[in-house]
Every structure is written in C-alpha cells, then in structure tokens.
A and B are shown apart, each in its own frame.
Chain A
Amino acid sequence: NAGVTQTPKFQVLKTGQSMTLQCAQDMNHEYMSWYRQDPGMGLRLIHYSVGAGITDQGEVPNGYNVSRSTTEDFPLRLLSAAPSQTSVYFCASSYGLGKNQPQHFGDGTRLSIL
C-alpha cells in the first residue's frame, strides 16, 4: 500500500512564485489535512477537508489555498510564495473526522522560498 504520497519531496521557489504541493491517498479516507512544521516547532494545521467538495481553514491558512475534487487528492496551493512560507509541509488522512482517529502522514515536502 502506498498510503499517503506527497510530491515533490523538495522544492525551491523565488518570492512571488506560485506552486502546488500534491497529496494523494489510496485508503479511501474521507478526512485529509495539511500541516506545516517549522524548525523546533510542532505541526500547525493549515487547511483540512472532511470529504470531496468540502474544505475549511485551520490555524494558519493565510497564503494557502486548497480544493478537494476527489476523495483521493488534496492539493495545497501557494498563491504568491513568501520567505515566511519556508517550511516542511505534511499531508495527512484518516478514516473519520480526525479528532479521535489515527492520522496517516506522508513524508513531507521540504519547501524553501528565496
């Protein structure tokens, strides 16, 4: 089983560029989410989705956009990259609504904004 797959693994952008981080899961999970992790910090929730066509904001949504057209995919878009968005981004999925369900994480996308 592939589980949660994130692409790319590494990316370097210039300030102002846009890009999409891809996330796909093959476990038929309804709940998916995006987190960012900064050095020495825990994970902070950016956006989440409880099913296809439904998304909502997490703790740090500014500068990011998401959509959920299928159950399997949950891309994260950076609209205009800023150095403050340099981070490691993790996508996660779970069977249920997330709070009390074990989350399955991808291995992350390491993003540097110059």
Chain B
Amino acid sequence: LAKTTQPISMDSYEGQEVNITCSHNNIATNDYITWYQQFPSQGPRFIIQGYKTKVTNEVASLFIPADRKSSTLSLPRVSLSDTAVYYCLVGDGGGADGLTFGKGTHLIIQP
C-alpha cells in the first residue's frame, strides 16, 4: 500500500496562504495524487488532483516535485470557512480498488 504522511494539525490566520505537505515515498508510477477536504458531519469533498509539476484550480494549487515522493497543497488567502480536515491520497499500487485515507491534517483558521 502506498502510505502517506501529513501533519496532524496546522493553524493559520485569515488572509494567509496555507501550505500542507504530504509525503508518499512509495507512490506507484501510474498513481495520481488527490486531495480531499472534509467538514464536520459531511463526507469528504474532492479538491484537486495531479500527477506531476503544478496544478491549479479555483480552490487550490498542487505542487509535485519531479521525484513525486511528496506534494504540497496550497490554499491562497484562507478564510474561517477553510477550517476542515484535509486528506492527501495516492492510488493503491495493487489489491483493492479503494482509496487509502490516513488521519488527514486538521487545519484551523483563526480570525
């Protein structure tokens, strides 16, 4: 299984840029890197996905170095509503076609 390692929690303030880094040393050649956001009492919500280099959408940016052993989710100018748990996932190299969710990063945004 391709495992991921992320910080358990992070704090920041409104208006700041937040970067959450995820390590995935055993990522497989065909695997993409996907980030999800989860609010209390809701299911996870897809944020962004990438394979290499940089991907940007209306919500976030994803930076992936050439060796793909890590990735960084960047949230520009966060607000209080960005307080949530963020999960970094990579595909399973074999076996069950499911996603391996770790404990995620609990991001707390303060005024």
Check if B101 sits within 8 Å of A42, measured CB to CB: yes
What count of chain A residues pass the 8 Å CB interface test? 29
What count of chain B residues pass the 8 Å CB interface test? 24
> Which parts of A38-70 form the interface with B (CB within 8 Å)?
40-45, 48, 50, 56-59
- Contact indicator per residue, chain A 76-99, by CB within 8 Å of chain B (1) or not (0): 000000000000001010000111
Q: Is B7 part of the binding interface, using a Cβ–Cβ cutoff of 8 Å?
A: no
Check if A99 sits within 8 Å of B31, measured CB to CB: yes
Q: Is A100 part of the binding interface, using a Cβ–Cβ cutoff of 8 Å?
A: yes
Check if A100 sits within 8 Å of B98, measured CB to CB: no
| Interface class of chain B by DSSP | loop
Check if A41 sits within 8 Å of B46, measured CB to CB: no
Check if A92 sits within 8 Å of B97, measured CB to CB: no
Interface residues in chain B, defined as those with a beta carbon under 8 Å from any beta carbon in chain A: 30-32, 34, 36, 41-46, 49, 87, 91-92, 96-104
A to B CB contacts below 8 Å, 16 in the list: A31-B97, A42-B104, A43-B99, A45-B98, A59-B96, A59-B98, A97-B97, A98-B97, A99-B32, A100-B31, A100-B32, A102-B34, A105-B44, A107-B41, A107-B43, A108-B43
